[in-house]
């Protein structure tokens, strides 16, 4: 008697162990649209992940979970941001095991590039909410982007500099692909407009010490310095910039908005005041949509200020909802992608469009200056270039 | 450029203060402590908290950081490290990396993963212009403080009884024990001292090196470079190594920026190939 | 441990892993990745566990193998098996060239030189973006079907069988090598180098040989990763890969091939599980586990298991 029940026990234990591997009953999934959100929640790029995650949850809180007849379900996965093979594997698992209908997130370029073939083969829309290299959208016909591209952001500041009396400018970028992209785009436009770049510097990706590079900039006696560094390094650069005496020498500090990331701008202190950058989003953007967004965001996350990464997540969700509404809840990958192309709306950042041909984002880029208002530091917009397309690498 | 030289020297001296504790731990206790950087991180974070959240003035905050790190070192040494003396080096590696993981995770939880920023007091900001060279006030301050520490360490080793016992224990632990020197107690005090210095370096370095939960692993490589190139058994060796590496690193980035990060690794490999036993080490008779 | 018991456990190990094809079909990508990492840790074991030579820069060979195989496929030759051989050959060459540099001086010097070389390779790969794709990664890696029949599919089935088979075959080879006179010489060198020299063993030559062999193995692991994920980026050369591998090796137990693989499996599974549960505290719990293991056991988990088994009453 004892023997039989042990066997049965083992049998049911084995069945229980195998249960997660069995496909879930079809009925439970009928009304749900599952979104696999792959973000760097830990590691050096954790702030990107946290901002986007916060924005996604904010959007759901503001707009509800049901769109086009489907309830949106988010499956969040942490890929740590440093191992593209992990991101790809997580995407594979989400598609194969969890049967997600949409992939989203992707904090950096190599992570998106590694996952592109998975989206293509599984025929699943892939919404890139953070990564910023031009070629990403070309790697799969299922990719749509709601973030930005670096050339799109670097070009306007080159225009502004040339149009505002800056003739000679040095460039200092971090020595990796996004840095090269930013340097290339700035250089091309600035030289086209008649400016000169007597000094081009690249700082190491790891453990950078900006002091010797800034010293060279000082010795080169240029009028301005264009900087691109990964978000988070901006504070170091600005501190060293002041400490070296470049500001006293009259050298102006310009760059893309990564330098004055809203997430940490307030902690940067006085060295940041007066820095001019070009970017597509400022938490201080003066529009009803943005005011509503920032208020709702801070309601859920009182210690965070939304930054440019977060709007990528916010608008990504809107794009998904718009797509579902048009297909009437149909989850077929190709139909969703076709429904999402060409969509336009007013985002917290301003008017945006997802290009019908390239599936890339077209948005306004603003020129802003860091100013102190109400005791806090903000990027205050004072000029705007409307509907900028990605000019390509 | 003299400015570059001064920057390099300041960098090097800071690196030395951070790394000298490791040199002693490795040389004296034969313990591979990859968690050394974590004590620097602990000191740095305490300093940041005191400065930013409690308005404590700079100097007391730095001193508090050093004492905190020393106390932390002492406690951990007595409770955890002591179990691993004489064990296989790799077990010690396993342990110390585990410790780094735990401390980094705790710091991440308490303070978040972002870079920590502080504002220096007004008397440490700005630059002095001597005409032919400009010197950052903070860099000069670093050189002065670290120089004083090096001098104090050297005198402590050479002139005090504790120093004599320490040197004896390093040269030959067995004989030292035989002479009645309490080697284990010396371990404890020395470890606390080394950790305290790391904490001091961490606090002083927030402005120059930055501070986030990945600090211990990020800079561990530099500490190891200093100890390997300088030789683990002396104070002067790592000091010279740190200075050399600081200057080479800064000068490399200034004069040949295209090569940048290569320089320090290439310099290390070359130095190690030329002097495999450390800059000043005599081939020991062990 | 008695031979029948030993054989049974080994059969269970490989049989269990292979049966995942049927039992856990949705976890195949993870299991394939674990096989790749297990091979890498195995390569490290040959060097650290058997020859007693500690290195912090083994990812250099992993990365070189990955880029070699990846670039080969990108340039048009996507045949998998020859790609593996190419990756192994290039990594072995780098190992052969750097071995004399690494073997000068004492232990700490050697460790630092391995570290320095790995870091230099990382910077070089970053800089030579025209060849490696730089920080964005190598794209356009397209693999032909294995032996013309089995295509690399989305479910990871082909990748799984391929990786596991390569691991198994290379494991058998490693076992042969370790049991051979060469392997015994290595163990002697680890135990007492001076005595081996006195016996007339060409110690330096043996060490260079095992260094090159270990590099080749690591190169195959890297090539496997490149082929199964069709992507290579700078992280294959990163320091954290070397450090993680060393951890896995010490965790599982050095000087035993199974120890290397068990360490890899447990670490990766723990990472995957804990990461899904508590994304932010993975580091904390793995740190606690490592500290406990270091204080408690000698010889890692395999050592603990052996001691536990030894305590069982003999039947």
Would you state the pLDDT for residue C170?
96
CA distance A297 to B127: 42
C144: three-class secondary structure by DSSP: coil
Please give the residue of chain C at the shortest CA–CA distance from B34. C243
User: For residue C42, which of C28, C21, C64, C62 has the smallest C-alpha distance?
Assistant: C62
pLDDT at site C26: 83
Express as a percent the part of chain B with pLDDT over 90.
18
**pLDDT digit string (tens) for B55-66?**
888 999 999 999
Instruction: Give the strands of the sheet with A70-78, arranged side by side.
Output: A66-67, A70-78, A32-39, A102-105, A126-128, A143-145
> Mean pLDDT over residues B213-223, rounded?
83
Are C297 and C281 spatial neighbours (Cβ–Cβ below 8 Å)?
A: no
Band the pLDDT of B278: cuts 50, 70, 90.
low
Q: How many CB pairs under 8 A join A and B?
A: 79
Nearest to B107 by CA among C280, A208, A354: C280
pLDDT score for B199: 94
pLDDT at C76 exceeding the cut of 50: yes
Looking at the complex, does the CB of residue B98 fall below 8 Å from at least one CB of chain C? yes
Nearest to B115 among A205, A235, A269 (CB): A235
Taking CA–CA distances from A97, the nearest residue in chain C reads C26
- CA-closest candidate to residue B191, choices B74, B80, B75: B74
- Cβ separation of B97 and C290 shorter than 8 Å? yes
Residues A243, B125: C-beta atoms closer than 8 Å: yes
What residue segments make up the domains of chain C, in order of their start? 3-310
Backbone angles phi, psi at A373, to 5 degrees: -130, 130
**Interface contact C301, partner B, CB < 8 A:** no
- Tell me which residue has tokens 């996965």: A77
Alpha carbon separation from C47 to A186, A197, A285, B64 (Å, rounded) = 48, 50, 58, 44
**Residue A391, Cβ neighbours under 10 Å: how many?**
14
Interface contact C283-A42, CB threshold 8 A: yes
If you count DSSP H runs as helices and E runs as strands, how many of each does chain A have, helices first? 13, 15
How confident is residue B279, by pLDDT bands cut at 50, 70 and 90?
Answer: low
- Cβ A93–C235 below 8 Å, yes or no? no
Q: Which two tokens stand for residue C119?
A: 């870091």
| Dist. CA B264–CA A128, nearest whole Å | 37
CATH of domain C3-310: 1.10.3470
Domain B2-274 has CATH 1.10.3470.10: yes
Can you tell me which residue has the tokens 């390093």? Answer: B170
* DSSP per-residue codes, chain B: -HHHHHHHHHHHHHHHHHHHHHHHHHHHH----TTHHHHHHHHHHHHHHHHHHH---HHHHHHHHHHHHHHHHHHHHHHTGGGGTTS-HHHHHHHHHHHHHHHHHHHHHHH-SSPP-----GGG-SEEE-SS-EEEHHHHHHHHHHHHHHHHHHHHHHHSHHHHHHHHHHH-HHHHHHTT--HHHHHHHHHHHHHHHHHHHHHHHHHHH---TTHHHHHHHHHHHHHHHH-TT-SHHHHHHHHHHHHHHHHHHHH-TTTTTHHHHHHHHHHHHHSTT-SS------
Give the neighbours of chain A: at least 3 Cβ pairs within 8 Å: B, C
> What percentage of residues in chain B have a pLDDT greater than 70?
95
Q: Which residues of A touch C225 (CB under 8 A)?
A: 85
Which H or E run contains A379? Answer: strand A376-388
Kindly report the average pLDDT of chain C as a whole number. 87
- B240-250 pLDDT, tens digit per residue, is 889 988 888 88
Residue C211 contacts residue C99 (beta carbons within 8 Å): yes
Residue A99: both structure tokens together = 């049967």
Nearest to C109 among B83, B93, B276 (CB): B276
Q: Please judge whether C276 and A77 are an interchain contact, meaning their C-beta atoms are less than 8 angstroms apart.
A: yes
Distance from B83 to chain C by nearest Cα, in Å? 6
Buried b or exposed e, range B16-37, using 16+ CB within 10 angstroms: bbbbbbbbbbbbbbebbbbbbb
Low-confidence winner among B129-133, C86-90, C94-98, C229-233 (lowest mean pLDDT): B129-133
Mean pLDDT by 10 residues, chain A (393 residues): 44 44 48 94 85 96 92 92 90 92 94 94 95 91 95 93 93 89 94 93 81 89 92 83 86 93 86 92 94 95 93 96 93 94 94 94 95 93 92 69
Q: What angle do CA B159, B162, B166 make, to 5 degrees?
A: 100
CA distance A331 to A32: 10
Dihedral sign, Cα of residue A352, residue A355, residue A356, residue A360: negative
B72-90: pLDDT as tens digits: 999 998 888 888 887 777 7
Q: Which residue from C minimizes the CA distance to A50?
A: C280
Q: Closest CB to B260: pick one of A175, A263, A264.
A: A175
- Residue A171: which of A216, A126, A209 has the closest Cα? A216
Domain boundaries, chain B: 2-274
Least-confidence region, from A143-157, C66-80, C238-252: C238-252
ipTM over 0.85: no
Q: Does A209 sit within 8 Å of B117, measured CB to CB?
A: no
Whether pLDDT at B136 is above 70:
yes
Q: Cα separation of C73 and A338, whole Å?
A: 33
For the beta carbon of residue A31, count every other beta carbon within 10 angstroms: 12
Q: How far is C315 from chain B, CA to nearest CA, in Å?
A: 34
**Strand-strand pairing, A361-373 and A376-388:** antiparallel
Contacts of A11 (CB under 8 A, 6+ apart): none
> Which candidate from B92, B98, B224 shows the least CB-CB separation from C287?
B98
Instruction: Give the C window 252-281 contacts with A, CB below 8 Å.
Output: 275-276, 279-280
C77 touches chain B (CB under 8 A): no
Question: How much is the pTM?
Answer: 0.83
DSSP H/E element including A352:
strand A350-354
State the virtual CA torsion across A104, A108, A110, A114 in degrees, nearest 10: -10
Cβ separation B113–A46 shorter than 8 A: yes
Residue B10 contacts residue B147 (beta carbons within 8 Å): no
What pLDDT score does B98 carry? 86
- Whether C22 has its CB under 8 Å from any CB of chain A: the answer is no
Q: Helix or strand or coil: residue A75?
A: strand
Residues C150-176 have a mean pLDDT of: 92
- Residues of A with CB below 8 A from B134's CB? 245
Residue C303 has pLDDT above 90, yes or no: no
The mean-pLDDT minimum among B33-37, B117-121, C262-266 falls in B117-121
Residue C66, both tokens: 């990955």
**Pick from B101, B225, B276: CB nearest C104:** B276
Token digits of residue C127: 């800089």
Residue A13 CA to its chain's centroid (Å): 45
Which member of A47, A201, A212 has the closest CB to residue B114?
Answer: A47
Which among A97, A121, A133 has the least Cβ separation from residue C26?
A97
- Among chain C residues, CA nearest to B267: C116
**Looking at residue A9, what is its pLDDT?**
46
Written as six digits, the tokens of C209 are: 């040989």
Q: What is the pLDDT of residue B189?
A: 87
> What would the mean pLDDT of B187-191 be, rounded to a whole number?
86
């Amino acid at each position: 008697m004892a023997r039989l029940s042990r066997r049965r026990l083992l049998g049911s234990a084995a069945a229980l162990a195998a249960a997660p591997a069995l496909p879930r009953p079809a009925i439970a999934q009928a009304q749900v649209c599952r979104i696999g959100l792959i973000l760097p929640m830990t590691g050096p790029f954790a702030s990107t992940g946290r901002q986007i995650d916060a924005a996604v949850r904010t959007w759901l809180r503001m707009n509800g979970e049901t769109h086009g007849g489907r309830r949106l379900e988010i499956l969040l996965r942490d890929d740590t941001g440093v191992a593209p093979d992990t991101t790809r594997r997580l995407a594979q698992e989400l598609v194969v095991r969890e049967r997600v209908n949409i992939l989203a997130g992707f904090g950096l370029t190599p992570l998106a590039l590694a996952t592109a073939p998975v989206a293509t083969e599984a025929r699943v829309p892939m919404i890139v909410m953070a990564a910023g290299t031009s070629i990403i959208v070309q790697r799969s016909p299922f990719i749509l982007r709601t973030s930005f591209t670096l050339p799109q952001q670097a070009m306007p500041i080159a225009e502004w500099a040339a149009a505002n009396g800056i003739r000679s400018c040095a460039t200092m970028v971090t020595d990796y692909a996004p840095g090269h992209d930013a340097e290339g785009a700035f250089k091309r436009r600035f030289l086209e407009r008649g400016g000169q770049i007597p000094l081009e510097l690249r700082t190491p990706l790891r453990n950078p010490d900006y002091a010797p590079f800034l010293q060279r900039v000082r010795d080169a006696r240029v009028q301005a310095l264009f900087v691109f560094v990964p978000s988070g390094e901006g504070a170091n650069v600005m501190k060293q910039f002041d400490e070296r005496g470049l500001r006293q020498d009259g050298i102006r500090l310009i760059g893309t908005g990564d330098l004055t990331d809203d997430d940490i701008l307030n902690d940067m202190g006085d060295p940041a005041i007066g820095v001019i950058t070009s970017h597509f989003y400022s938490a201080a953007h003066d529009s009803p949509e943005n005011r509503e967004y920032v208020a709702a965001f801070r309601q859920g996350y009182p210690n965070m200020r939304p930054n440019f990464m977060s709007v990528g997540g916010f608008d990504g969700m809107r794009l998904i909802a718009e797509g579902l509404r048009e297909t009437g809840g149909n989850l077929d990958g190709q139909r969703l992608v076709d429904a999402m192309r060409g969509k336009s709306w007013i985002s917290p950042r301003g008017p945006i469009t997802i290009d019908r041909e390239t599936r890339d984002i077209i948005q306004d880029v603003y020129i802003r200056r860091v100013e102190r208002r109400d005791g806090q530091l903000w990027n205050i917009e004072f000029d705007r270039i409307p509907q900028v397309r990605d000019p390509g690498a | 450029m003299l400015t570059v030289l001064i920057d390099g020297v300041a960098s090097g001296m800071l690196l030395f203060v951070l790394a000298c504790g490791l040199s002693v731990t490795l040389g004296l206790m034969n313990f591979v402590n990859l968690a050394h950087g974590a004590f620097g991180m602990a000191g740095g974070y305490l300093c940041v908290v005191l400065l930013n959240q409690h308005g404590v003035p700079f100097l007391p905050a730095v001193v508090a950081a050093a004492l905190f790190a020393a106390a932390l070192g002492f406690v951990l040494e007595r409770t955890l490290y002591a179990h691993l003396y004489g064990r296989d080096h790799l077990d010690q590696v396993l342990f110390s990396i585990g410790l780094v993981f735990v401390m980094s995770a705790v710091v991440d939880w308490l303070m978040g993963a972002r870079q920590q920023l502080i504002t220096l007091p007004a008397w440490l900001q700005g630059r002095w212009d001597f005409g032919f060279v400009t010197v950052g006030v903070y860099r000069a301050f670093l050189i002065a403080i670290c120089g004083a520490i090096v001098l104090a360490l050297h005198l402590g080793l050479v002139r005090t009884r504790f120093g004599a016992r320490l040197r004896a224990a390093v040269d030959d632990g067995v004989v030292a024990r035989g002479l009645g020197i309490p080697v284990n107690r010396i371990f404890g005090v020395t470890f606390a001292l080394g950790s305290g210095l790391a904490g001091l370096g961490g606090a002083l370095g927030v402005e120059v090196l930055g501070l986030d939960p990945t600090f211990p692993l990020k800079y561990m490589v530099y500490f190891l470079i200093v100890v390997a190139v300088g030789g683990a058994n002396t104070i002067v060796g790592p000091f010279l190594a740190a200075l050399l590496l600081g200057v080479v690193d800064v000068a490399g980035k200034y004069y040949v920026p295209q090569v940048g990060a290569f320089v320090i690794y290439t310099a290390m490999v070359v130095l190690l190939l030329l002097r495999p036993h450390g800059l000043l080490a005599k081939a020991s008779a062990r | 441990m008695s031979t029948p018991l030993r054989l049974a456990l080994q059969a269970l190990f490989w049989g269990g892993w292979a049966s995942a094809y049927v039992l856990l079909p949705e976890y195949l990508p993870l299991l394939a990745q674990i096989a790749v990492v297990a091979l890498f840790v195995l390569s490290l074991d040959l060097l650290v566990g058997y020859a007693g030579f500690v290195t912090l820069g083994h990812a250099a060979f992993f990365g070189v193998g990955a880029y070699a195989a990846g670039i080969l496929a990108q340039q048009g030759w996507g045949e998998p098996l020859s790609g593996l051989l190419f990756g192994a050959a290039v990594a072995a060459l780098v190992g052969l060239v750097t071995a004399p540099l690494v073997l000068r001086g004492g232990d700490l010097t050697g460790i630092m030189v391995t570290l320095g070389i790995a870091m230099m390779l990382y910077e070089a790969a970053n800089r030579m973006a025209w060849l490696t794709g730089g920080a964005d990664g190598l794209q356009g890696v397209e693999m032909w079907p294995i032996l013309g029949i089995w295509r690399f599919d989305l479910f990871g089935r082909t990748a799984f069988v391929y990786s596991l088979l390569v691991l198994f075959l290379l494991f058998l080879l490693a076992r042969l090598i370790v049991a051979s006179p060469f392997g015994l010489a290595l163990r002697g060198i680890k135990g007492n180098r001076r005595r081996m020299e006195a016996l007339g063993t060409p110690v330096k030559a043996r060490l260079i040989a095992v260094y090159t062999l270990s590099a080749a193995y690591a190169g195959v692991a890297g090539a496997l990763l490149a082929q199964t994920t069709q992507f290579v980026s700078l992280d294959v050369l990163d320091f954290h890969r070397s450090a993680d591998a060393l951890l896995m090796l010490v965790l599982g137990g050095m000087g035993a091939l199974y120890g290397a693989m068990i360490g890899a499996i447990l670490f990766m599974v723990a990472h995957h599980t804990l990461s899904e549960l508590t994304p932010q505290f993975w580091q904390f719990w793995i740190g606690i586990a490592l500290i406990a293991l270091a204080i408690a056991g000698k010889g890692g988990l395999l050592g603990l298991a052996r001691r536990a088994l030894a305590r069982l009453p003999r039947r």
